[in-house]
């Protein structure tokens, strides 16, 4: 049996960067979700799903849900990547929203991603602008961490990716 594989879905590049770092740090193989075959992934001892967070969903999670029976005896983990700074309550919401049923006990980890409106597709850029307008109407003192990050990033190119976010995942894999 092969050691491990990273199955990833990256829309704008931050998740791909974490995938590449994980490959270097673990010697795991890597494959995009769109090219992954469940039977091939099932040949590995460990399976890590890396996906960006979009509208509270984790990219690539449907692949895991669809094939969870084939991965039952694997060491599994999920790394979700988002533009917001880590916030325990927001992370709990993401976990509760996404990890249900057979996925409930899979460890979830977080890596902060990037923000570059020029790389966003029209729909994502438009939705972000609408969200920024909505948040701008609120009292600054009531902003949640993600709101502050959204407003600070507007019009900026920001890259918060950092290998330090992988430390808890790597520790989990070693145990």
pLDDT of 31 reads 98
**CB distance 18 to 25 below 8 Å:** no
**CB distance 62 to 92 below 8 Å:** no
pLDDT of 158 reads 83
pLDDT of 98 reads 96
Work out the pLDDT band at 35, boundaries 50, 70, 90: very high
Q: What is the pLDDT of residues 1-18, one digit of tens each?
A: 469 999 999 988 999 999
DSSP assigned state of 85:
P
Residue-wise burial string across 128-160, b where 16 or more C-beta atoms lie within 10 A, e elsewhere: beeeeeebeeeeeeeeeebbebbeebeeeeeeb
Residue 157, SS3 per DSSP: strand
pTM, two decimal places:
0.87
Q: Is 44 buried (19+), middle (13-18) or exposed (0-12) by CB count in 10 A?
A: buried
Please measure the distance between the N-terminal and C-terminal CA atoms of the chain and give it in whole angstroms.
18
Range from 89-98, 112-121, 128-137 that averages highest in pLDDT = 89-98
CA distance 60 to 15: 11
pLDDT of 127 reads 84
Q: What is the pLDDT of residues 56-75, one digit of tens each?
A: 899 999 999 999 999 989 99
Q: Which of 161, 167, 145, 175 is nearest to 14 (CA)?
A: 161
CA distance 39 to 6: 14
pLDDT of 102 reads 93
- Pick the range with the lowest mean pLDDT from 49-53, 54-58, 70-74, 77-81: 54-58
């Amino acid at each position: 049996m092969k050691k491990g594989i990273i199955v990833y879905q990256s829309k704008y590049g931050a998740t791909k960067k974490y995938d590449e770092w994980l490959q270097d740090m673990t010697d795991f193989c890597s494959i995009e979700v769109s090219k992954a075959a469940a039977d091939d992934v099932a040949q590995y001892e460990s399976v890590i799903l890396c996906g960006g967070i979009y509208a509270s969903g984790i990219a690539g999670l449907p692949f895991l849900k669809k094939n969870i029976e084939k991965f039952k005896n694997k060491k599994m983990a999920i790394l979700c990547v988002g533009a917001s700074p880590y916030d325990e309550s927001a992370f709990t919401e993401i976990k509760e929203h996404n990890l249900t049923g057979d996925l409930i006990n899979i460890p979830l980890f977080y890596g902060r991603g990037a923000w570059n409106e020029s790389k966003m597709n029209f729909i994502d850029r438009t939705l972000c602008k609408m969200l920024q307008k909505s948040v701008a109407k609120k009292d600054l003192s009531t902003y949640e961490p993600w709101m502050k990050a959204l407003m600070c990033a507007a019009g900026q190119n920001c890259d918060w990716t950092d290998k330090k976010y992988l430390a808890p995942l790597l520790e989990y894999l070693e145990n």
